[in-house]
Structure 1
């Protein structure tokens, strides 16, 4: 195919094209067919895209006397430039092989070839309306229009840089796989599919209508997933027809049962092996293009205290670590409140020597115990948030040095007692021991109301607060499933993997309950 590239034209804002052709991009509008007149197609393209400085229209010609015209459109910031020439060469090879070498290609040859054979290359698509053209162009495709042909050819040429597969940042392990998900949906699905090469692993993908056209995918293991849970999940996610979804956390909030509950009703992971383990347990995984977080639905309370490394270590050690996490959960939740209740309302429950020590350290403190605890926890939260927002090389140093300096200065200034500094530090360290980062948020939010109940009514108030919290957990659901399963409702057959992690020979050899299909 003899052809000559024309002049590359970049369009800036023009007075006659100040408004985007909204008829082309409304989701509810009728599809606009492609015209066989090349100038009409060019006019529609200009009306839609010409206000963007990175949009390119490339004119080129072909034929015996270069009399046949065509043009390509693409976003310069999205494609690989080497793909432009490669695309034209591949089209030349496709058509030349059909009509014979040395033959002058005409528009009729191009139309006949693609109408008869379709598009054989996976990265090519044959488009018939402008709605699909807009979708492909903004997704990193290069689209070619030929004169006298009412179709266009789309060629994938996406060249946006992506982060390479590395070790997960938020889920470090001593033993186990090191690969983590990235911001590429296809690669993430490929890593999961590679670890679960089963035909029963079903993946569904769809694109949300809106400005972002976000691609969302969810997967489940057919025959393992609970059909009632799957039906409820499909009902909820089916409502997400439109919306600007940029991260999996958006979907979490849109499909969760209780938005105002402090407890997360779904889990997150950046590890493909954790996602596969969840699928084998009957969970549903949700992935969004542009983010590396995988959403696992539904999420239960006991699962938030478990880690993927529990299954890579020996049974005794994994069970011991799980018990430590449960203790850490209790410390992070009630230690400040318990200290307030005992020191203010129930000093008789404190051993005499320890009580005298507490009284001596609190001598000269101008604030009540509740105000003292509130100020110290607030300072600790500020340091923790500052450590997260600061650049990584200095964030950890600032958090540690800031905690030491503020704690020592507060003691020297008689604003806080040493025992209060220990209580706050132990509370913060315990919250760090929880595997799920978003689960620790719930404890940080609940500390203040528990402290208020303890400051008002002592141990009785703390008991009332814990009973209310327990009732909330009993009523909480995740995709319609009880949040406290297998604690409430009580399911003894599942307790072998709750507090004590049973040996793998008991977990792996016991057939999982397979749910019948819907």
Structure 2
């Protein structure tokens, strides 16, 4: 869903024009303009101080008390009250230039002071967590960074549990997240660009890439779309995924997400671009290709043989999640001759007396399963797991006893649900949940032919889909032999590192980048 820009009212336009005006030498005028901007903002603090030997000079200190460090605010208060008359000089009168030089050279913060000269800049700095100092007779202001909002510490990501490998996960602080990435990739070719998006939220967003590794056309396309989002209100990284993707209504996600710095670094080495937003731990990996969603970070921390077997198990699980209900409906309704006789008799015996056809029966059971899954996600974790397990057992047994569903259908739906959990990326698993219903309807109407038509339409959609200009279905369409092998099997690291050394730009490195 695209964020629509709201129309400005006349009052907002007047405030906008007044906030863009330069600061005045009259402190009272500046205070009036700023208070008009922060009208009804009770967390904005205005402190007026009088300094000089005779205390006949005036200064104004602005801060947002909900997002600044109290110790820095208290330190500034002590400086304004005590240090200036004694430290600046012993003259009978302290001049303004002495005060300016004192704050600019010494200051009250370990970071450099910023000099600003517009009312809009004052409001922006205050909302960014700066302490702003204005002086009578000076048309500029000094801003010291003092931002401090409680954040959770770095820990293991909840959505990407790793059996083996690093345990660090990103948090809701953009600076720390970039630091976690920079600490793992100590290269001057790692380029990081930070901008602010949105007129109201002014969200700090960043994207990073490894110069000389990401394809030039992909980088240009990303930067073009990124710059077009200047006025969009970005609250979370998933906003980027929808605003930047080529096909909004496609059931397949065109970008990957992660909360692990090692995965982000691996993607950068593989020629990807990552995007981050301050206030959210999610990292967006661009572009994301179809085959990369079957790869897990743990694939590269375990032995090649075991990782290859697990990867084949994931591919099989996705096929089961997508096709099993529709295959069962097609076989039991149209193609009973393809079912072994003993199994056919067992199916007919369990379906005897069922009031609904196989399609309706499957839709009812899938609806119950999806409902339980969503309920377990919204409830607290200890309660959610109990609800999902007990609910599935109770509903499955009650449905069989009530004659609403056959035991075979319960088994099919259960296997379908379990198989959908084998996909490492949750967003990609939702594609099978969406597409299995049209396939079931096609199988119920036309049998195997309906399934074939459904698969053909999905294939045509996949080969026509693009992610930042790259073919989404590569290496399956178009076929690339080397990467097609890596899609099914995890090639040895020695071969991947050798291939990395032989080429500066690695369009075929998607397997490593997707890890």
Q: What is the aligned counterpart of 1:160 among 149, 157, 163? A: 149
Q: CA separation in 2, counterparts of 1:478 and 1:358?
A: 44
Q: CA separation in 2, counterparts of 1:103 and 1:439?
A: 73
Deviating more after overlay: 170-179 vs 43-52: 43-52
Give 1:111 shift. Answer: 3.1
Matched, 1:297 2:286: yes
Q: 1:21 to 1:100 in 2, by over 3 A?
A: farther
Q: What is the aligned counterpart of 1:514 among 479, 504, 512? A: 504
SS in 1 for 2:268: helix
Q: 1:443 to 1:189 in 2, by over 3 A?
A: same
Could you tell me which runs of 5 or more consecutive residues in structure 1 were left unpaired when the two chains were aligned: 1-18
- 2:120 match: 131
Q: 1:153 to 1:329 in 2, by over 3 A?
A: same
Give 1:102 shift. Answer: 8.7
Q: CA separation in 2, counterparts of 1:25 and 1:177?
A: 47
- Are 1:227 and 1:515, in contact at CA under 8 Å, matched by a contact in 2? no
Give 1:125 shift. Answer: 1.4
Equivalence map 1:28-427=2 (5 Å): 31-88=20-77, 99=88, 105-112=94-101, 121-122=110-111, 124-427=113-416
Q: Deviations over 1:490-510 (max 9, x none)?
A: 222324532111111111222
- Are 1:73 and 1:144, in contact at CA under 8 Å, matched by a contact in 2? yes
Q: 1:116 to 1:320 in 2, by over 3 A?
A: closer
Q: 1:353 to 1:413 in 2, by over 3 A?
A: same
Q: CA separation in 2, counterparts of 1:40 and 1:378?
A: 64
- Are 2:209 and 2:271, in contact at CA under 8 Å, matched by a contact in 1? yes
Q: CA separation in 1, counterparts of 2:280 and 2:64?
A: 22
Q: CA separation in 2, counterparts of 1:94 and 1:434?
A: 62
Greater length-normalized contact order (CA 8 Å, ≥ 6 residues apart): 2
Q: 1:405 to 1:107 in 2, by over 3 A?
A: same
Equivalence map 1:426-437=2 (5 Å): 426-437=415-426
Q: Deviations over 1:267-319 (max 9, x none)?
A: 00000000000000000000001110000000000100000000000111100
- 1:6 match: none
Q: 1:60 to 1:91 in 2, by over 3 A?
A: closer
Q: Deviations over 1:327-365 (max 9, x none)?
A: 001000000000000000000100101110001111111
Q: 1:435 to 1:335 in 2, by over 3 A?
A: same
* Count of residue pairs the alignment pairs up: 496
Q: CA separation in 1, counterparts of 2:280 and 2:389?
A: 30
Q: Deviations over 1:109-132 (max 9, x none)?
A: 123556799999525311111111
Deviating more after overlay: 493-502 vs 260-269: 493-502
Deviating more after overlay: 241-250 vs 53-62: 53-62
Give 1:82 shift. Answer: 1.8
Instruction: Report the RMSD for the aligned CA atoms in angstroms.
Output: 2.3
- TM-score, normalised by the number of residues in structure 1: 0.91
Q: 1:420 to 1:21 in 2, by over 3 A?
A: closer
- 2:429 match: 440
